[in-house]
Every structure is written in structure tokens, then in C-alpha cells.
Amino acid sequence: MSSMLTEERLNEFEVKKLIDVVKSAPHAVKIVAATKTRTAEEINGLKKFGITAMGENRVQELLSKYDELDMPEVHFIGALQTNKVKYIVDKVCMIQSVDRLELALEIEKRCAKINKVMDVLIEVNYGEEENKSGCPAGETIGLAREISALPHLRIKGLMTVLPIDAKDEMYSGMKMLSDELKEIYPEAEYLSMGMSDDYEKAISYGANMIRPGTALFGARVYPQK
């Protein structure tokens, strides 16, 4: 059965639709495929569409498929515990979920040991949802100042997971926060916002990095317990 979970499971119509939306956007948009529950074979199949960046949510899942991956860019996009940082710093090119100084300090420590500068995004919990990780919007610039002092981290922008049915003001608010950060740190070029259900809206509000999953692969199939 697992041999069928290959490129054929890619939702080719939706993939092409997504790529068309990205190409027609008024600004460049980077696609980072959200690959939670997807096999390495499925993920590698994205390359034929020109999608060469992926994002994993869980450390253990990334480790389990890493050796079979053939993707130029591997991002980490999920909530990250400090005790798991050591397992991924040599495997990812960007950590999109830095939401507290404690985590940033651990990334600094681990990257210093391997002489690597890690690109990071500050995750913002713009909707202040209790069940989501992320820095409160009002604390974002302060956290950025603290992170900017760490020599092995490079702030590349912001990431957010907005609430379902988020109002337009949240999208525009994230864009304003992104612009404010970029004025202080010109390298903070990315606003990672928008997933399968809202990537078109996110792009219209200035997102230049999106994280679609089901729009590329179809509905997730979770293994039975």
C-alpha cells in the first residue's frame, strides 16, 4: 500500500492552480510545502513542479524520513522544544517557529558548535490563541532585538498561523508588523503566512512565503492506532 503513496497522490490540478496563483502574484512568493504525515517519496515528487522547499512540523518525523529526502531546502515549521534543537540544526536551513528567547539561545548554542548561522523566522501568535505557540504581536520587535545579538542566528522575517476565518485586519496587521521589522532589520525579508485554505488571501495581503499542505497532497491520511 505504501508504494502507492508516491507522486500519484499529489493533487496535480491543485498544485498547478497554486503555482499559477504564485506566478500571477504582484510580488515573488516562495512555496514551502507543509509535509506533515507525507512520505519522502511524495515530498520528492514536488520537484517536478519546481517546488524545492519543504517544512516539517515534528522533529521525530523529520528524522524518520530525512535520509530519503531529495529536497534542496528543509525548513522546520512546527513548535520546537529546546531539548529537540540539537537533532535538527544540522539538517534544516531555516527554523520558522522561534517564539521565545530561550529557544533562540539554544539554537545559538547548538549552531555555534557546528559553526553554522541559522536563518530564523519569529513566529507570531497574532490571534493570541491559547492553543497555539508564538510570540504576542506586541513583543515581536523586542524579541527580534534580543535575537539580533546572537551571532549564529539571522532574522529573516516573521511566520504566523492565523485563526480560522481570521478577519482581514489580522492579515494587514501582520503585513504592517513585517514591514516594521524589515525597517529595522533589512534581511527580514519574509512574511510566512497562508496555508492551503488561505494562501490566496495571504498573498493578497503581502505574504511572500506560503506553507500549503493539503492543496499539494490532498487530505492527510493518518496511520491507524
Of the ranges 4-13, 22-31, 138-147, 214-223, which one carries the lowest mean pLDDT score?
A: 4-13
How confident is residue 129, by pLDDT bands cut at 50, 70 and 90? Answer: confident
CATH class of the domain at 2-214: alpha beta
How confident is residue 6, by pLDDT bands cut at 50, 70 and 90? Answer: very low
Q: Quick one: which of 173, 171, 168, 79 has its CA closest to 123?
A: 79
Q: Per-residue pLDDT tens for 160-200?
A: 999 988 999 999 999 999 999 999 999 999 999 999 999 99
3-state secondary structure labels for all residues of the chain: CHHHCCHHHCCHHHHHHHHHHHHHCCCCCEECEECCCCCHHHHHHHHHHCCCEEEECCHHHHHHHHHHCCCCEEEECCCCCHHHHHHCCCCCCEEEEECCHHHHHHHHHHHHHCCCCEEEEEEECCCCCCCCCCECHHHHHHHHHHHHCCCCEEEEEEEECCCCCCCHHHHHHHHHHHHHHHHHCCCCCEEECCCCCCHHHHHHCCCCEECCCHHHHCCCCCCCC
Contact between residue 33 and residue 46 where contact means Cβ atoms under 8 Å apart: yes
How confident is residue 1, by pLDDT bands cut at 50, 70 and 90? Answer: very low
Domain residue ranges in the chain: 2-214
Contact between residue 134 and residue 124 where contact means Cβ atoms under 8 Å apart: yes
Contact between residue 116 and residue 152 where contact means Cβ atoms under 8 Å apart: yes
Burial 164-188 (b: 16+ CB within 10 A, else e): eebeeebbebbbebbeebbeebeeb
Q: Per-residue pLDDT tens for 66-85?
A: 999 999 999 999 999 999 99
Q: Per-residue pLDDT tens for 19-55?
A: 999 999 999 999 999 999 999 999 999 999 999 999 9
